[in-house]
Amino acid sequence: MKKFNAFKRYFGLLFLILAPLVIYELVAGAVANIDSAGKKDINNPVIWIIIITIFTPIAAGLVIFGWYAFRGEYDHLPWKSKELDN
Contacts 24+ apart (CB under 8 A), 2-10: 5/72, 5/75, 8/69, 8/74, 8/75, 9/69, 9/70, 9/72
Residue type for position 4: F
Report the pLDDT value the prediction gives residue 23, as an integer from 0 to 100.
95
Report the pLDDT value the prediction gives residue 38, as an integer from 0 to 100.
73
Phi, psi of 35 (to 5 degrees): -145, 125
Closest C-alpha to 34, from 48, 51, 52, 54: 48
Of the pLDDT bands very low, low, confident and very high (cuts 50, 70, 90), residue 5 is confident
84 has a pLDDT exceeding 80: no
32 has a pLDDT exceeding 70: yes
42 has a pLDDT exceeding 80: no
